[in-house]
Amino acid sequence: MLNELGVIRISTQERALMENLERLSLNSGSHSPSLATMQQALPEIHIDIDACFLSNPLATELFWTYFNTDVLNDQQLFKRMLEAYPSQNRVIAERLSSTIGVEPGRVFIANGATEAIQAVIHNFSSHIHINIPTFSPYYEFAGPDHRITRFRVDSGNDFVLDPGRYVHSVLGSGADTAVLISPNNPDGYLIPDADLKWILARLSGLRTIIVDESFIHFADRAVPGPGGSGNGLPTLVGLTEQFDNVTVIKSMSKDFGIAGIRAGYAIMKKSRVDQLLDHGYLWNSSGIAEYFFSLFTRPAFLSEYREVLDTYRGYIDRFTSMTSGVNFVRAYPTSANFQLMRVPEGVSADLVTTLLLVRHGIYVRACGDKIGLDGEFIRVAIRTEPENKLVFAALKDVLG
């Protein structure tokens, strides 16, 4: 009876919970159920550590400190934020421009990067070539008239993107759009600068290339904004700006730990920003997102952010060095703030996820629904140091 679950023994109660969890996941489509949804549906489960959600917890704390001082302490300002329209898209882009070192006309402010992905796919592409595994909106947002073709990056080769094979695949597909996420979600692979440049140069005939750098702050990559200006944070903008078919997509959710605010942006050629803004997206931000964007331009905030980012990158390094040598799970190298892990032969990732949850109160992402992942994988978000230690101990307990 336990055969399909592999070698791990589980109780009847754990089995029942596992079935409930599976039902819940099925109902949430391709994104894992949120913490709130989980807790509501399965009140018997206590989640102590959310290692599903990919954010820098230190950055959330930093934002929270500023938000308290600037906004919550000033009731008039807060009320005004709720009562009034936020600034228009172009006004926020204008303010952001010098911080990110990009002309304001090329910046499209989005209600989370997801909105920018949707805008680009719906306006500037008809046949999308995606790499699998990938972040699912890149194919889910395609409409009935879109075509989707795929290029698989292989777990056997640590998800390395082979530039020659990739370019061959894109050109052979006839796609007008290519999507490169670097570091990639869910595997964390960072495309080396030289490879990215080489690829872009060969795909200059494409209508659109999306370069999604939503996790670039976590990468060990020193190159700051273009022209030496900007904020000193890693970005691929300098590398990509000579190619005018490229759109750089940037989410603020993960690195600033503020997914609830919905703040992101895209950089693309000016005529495309004009085309999008001529037909909508006027006030697609919010007062709170606008506050975040203004904070992002403040040197004091930026320097504190760089400090917490450094500290957090230290946590990432320590966690990945713990997992790299173990034999109970295969943890792939990562340049992001999460690690993809392959569970041992014969063990189901759903089972591991359930046991981590019921026995240890730790919520990780089972990757069974990720197209292109051949085998059983979990994705573990890297959190604070004490949390990471508990996660590691729990993995060892369940799988070791």
Ligand X SMILES: *Cc1c(COP(=O)(O)O)cnc(C)c1O
Report the interface residues with ligand X, using CB under 6 A: 112-114, 135, 181, 185, 212, 214, 251, 253-254, 259, 264
Give the residue with the Cβ less far from ligand X, 57 or 264: 264
Integer Cα distance of 125 and 240 in angstroms = 19
Of 184 and 245, CB closest to ligand X: 184
Q: Could you tell me how many residues make up the chain?
A: 400
Asked whether the CA dihedral 224, 225, 226, 229 is positive or negative, the reply is negative
**Which CB sits closer to ligand X, 101 or 264?**
264
Complex with ligand X: residue 177 or 251, whichever CB lies closer: 251
Please identify, using beta-carbon distances, which residue of 342 and 379 lies nearer to ligand X.
379
Cα four-point dihedral sign 202, 208, 217, 33: negative
Provide φ and ψ at 175, rounded to 5°: -65, 150
CB 302 within 8 A of CB 66: no
Q: What are phi and psi of 146, to 5 degrees?
A: -85, 150
| Tokens standing for residue 267 | 């950089």
Closer by beta carbon to ligand X, 240 or else 354: 240
| Contact criterion met (CB below 8 Å) for 212 and 180 | yes
Which helix H or strand E contains 166, and what residues bound it? Answer: helix 163-173
Q: Taking the complex as a whole, how short is the minimal distance between the CB of residue 72 and ligand X, in angstroms?
A: 23
We find the least distance from the C-beta atom of residue 312 to ligand X, in angstroms, to be: 17
**Measured between alpha carbons, how far is 262 from 41 in angstroms, rounded to an integer?**
25
DSSP annotation of 368: T
Q: Please say which residue, 60 or 348, places its beta carbon nearer to ligand X.
A: 60
Helices 287-296 and 89-100 meet at what angle, rounded to 10?
A: 20
Least distance in Å: CB of 375 to ligand X? 21
**Nearest distance from residue 261's CB to ligand X, in Å?**
9
What residues have CB less than 8 Å from 122, skipping those under 6 apart?
141, 143
Name the nearest CA neighbour of 316 among 133, 57, 60: 57
| CA angle centred on 133, ends 132 and 137, rounded to 5° | 90
Range 203-227 burial, b when 16+ CB lie within 10 A, else e: beebebbbbbbbbbbbbebeebbbe
Contact 49/362 with Cβ under 8 angstroms?
yes
Backbone angles phi, psi at 285, to 5 degrees: -90, -160
| Residue 134 beta carbon to ligand X: minimum distance, rounded to whole angstroms | 8
Q: Which is nearer to ligand X, 86 or 351 (CB)?
A: 86
**Cβ proximity to ligand X, 18 vs 259, nearer residue:** 259
Minimum gap (Å) between residue 264 Cβ and ligand X: 4
Q: Which is nearer to ligand X, 31 or 90 (CB)?
A: 31
Q: Indicate the SS3 state at residue 339.
A: strand
- 39 by Cβ neighbours in 10 Å (0-12 / 13-18 / 19+) ranks as middle
Q: Nearer Cβ to ligand X, position 54 or 347?
A: 54
Smallest gap from Cβ 41 to ligand X, in A, equals: 23
Nearest distance from C-beta of residue 113 to ligand X, angstroms: 3
Shortest CB 228 distance to ligand X, Å: 27
Instruction: Read off the DSSP letter of residue 282.
Output: T
Least distance (Å) between residue 305 CB and ligand X: 17
Residue 114 Cβ, how far from ligand X at the closest point, in Å? 3
